Amino acid sequence: MTINLNRRGLLAALGAAGVAAATPGFAKPRMPLFKRIGKPLGVQLYALGEAAQKDLLGTLKRLATIGYTDFELPSLYGRSPKDLRADADAAGVKFGSMHMSLPQRVPAGSLTLMSSTQEIADALGTLGIKNAILPIPLLPDDFSVPAGGNMRDALVAGVDAGGLDMWKRMGNLLNERAAALKPHGISLGYHNHNMEFRPQGGTTGWNVLLNELDPKLVFIELDLGWAAAGGLDPAAEIRRLKGRIKMVHLKDIKATTKTNFALNQDPVEVGLGMLDWHKILPACVASGVEHFYVEQEAPFTRDRFESMKISHDYLAKFVA
């Protein structure tokens, strides 16, 4: 069989191919972002409330069925690291991070960032975790919740009482603890809420903290929902802190959320709120974010597992 190709025929064929490629019906589907970058979707288990406290294994299995494989612990749930690791192994998932408090006095028998470095290293090593996160600012030594008061208001008042000096002192303390943990293979990070962004003396606690932290020692876990509730543009902040944000909390909020610095937000599942994920997620990728944890604050309008599925399905199909 002889095929005759002349210049006119070749150009016509190429033109037809170009039309086909430009036609939606012929366009090659774009790969979902998380599949393309090869990063798992995770969950901060705080979002599951009592379910994780009462039945961690069952909770992990249900979340794994949805598609989550990377988990961040909010605490040890009063259990041993060995028992928690057994639950993760049985569910076929991994713990990638853990939130730990930083009291100035260590309660007997508890594991905090003020515990000995060897004790922290042993516990996290058993769990398979290499990242520890401080999730709340320093509080006064005599911190307490007044009779008839609530924890949220007490936390805000305690943080505000420390002024800008508290953020500087906390930065120094985090640098010191990070330097002590680094030889054990553990990285230390800080997780924000929205109290950090209150204007004070021409700056904010957030900026004071960032200026104090050594980027080579302490990374940021940026909570996107709280950042937005504090008046920041999450995508712009991610770009500004390129290379310093190792983890993010994927959290959405309703447009009814008013800018505030007092732990207030109107929560909603990822993709159903006001955050611009088409700007945020590409910024995360460009900045080198390694862990992506879905989290949602109370109150929930749906079953918590259903909310986690809605967020997962939006993110798993997300294309950018």
For residue 244, give the 3-state DSSP assignment: coil
Instruction: Check: CB of residue 77 under 8 Å from CB of residue 84.
Output: yes
Distance CA 260, CA 231 (A): 7
| Distance of alpha carbon 229 from alpha carbon 139, whole angstroms | 22
Q: Percent helix, strand, coil in the chain (nearest 5)? A: 45, 15, 40
Task: Say if CB 188 and CB 132 are below 8 A apart.
Answer: yes
* Cα separation, 216 vs 243, whole angstroms: 10
pLDDT of 87 reads 98
Is the pLDDT at 2 greater than 60? The verdict is no
Taking all residues of the chain, what is their mean pLDDT, rounded to a whole number?
A: 92
Going by pLDDT thresholds of 50, 70 and 90, the confidence category of residue 108 is low
Q: Which of 194, 125, 209 is nearest to 164 (CA)?
A: 209
At 195-247, the pLDDT tens digits run 999 999 999 999 999 999 999 999 999 999 999 999 999 999 999 999 999 99
pLDDT tens digits, residue range 112-168? Answer: 999 999 999 999 999 999 999 999 999 988 888 888 889 999 999 999 999 999 999
CATH assignment of 30-316, among 3.30.465.10, 3.20.20.150, 3.40.50.300, 3.30.420.340: 3.20.20.150
- Mean pLDDT calculated for residue range 287-296: 98
User: Is the confidence at residue 50, as pLDDT, over 50?
Assistant: yes
- pTM equals 0.90
Higher pLDDT, residue 102 or 56? 56
Distance of CA 241 to the CA centre of its chain: 15
What are the boundaries of each domain within the chain?
30-316
Q: What is the pLDDT of residue 104?
A: 54
Q: What stretches of 185-233 show up as alpha helix (H) in DSSP? A: 205-212, 224-229
Q: Look at 106 and 282; give whichever has higher pLDDT.
A: 282
Residue type, 283: A
Half-sphere exposure of 6 (CA within 13 A, CB side): 1
Residue 160 tokens, joined: 């505000």
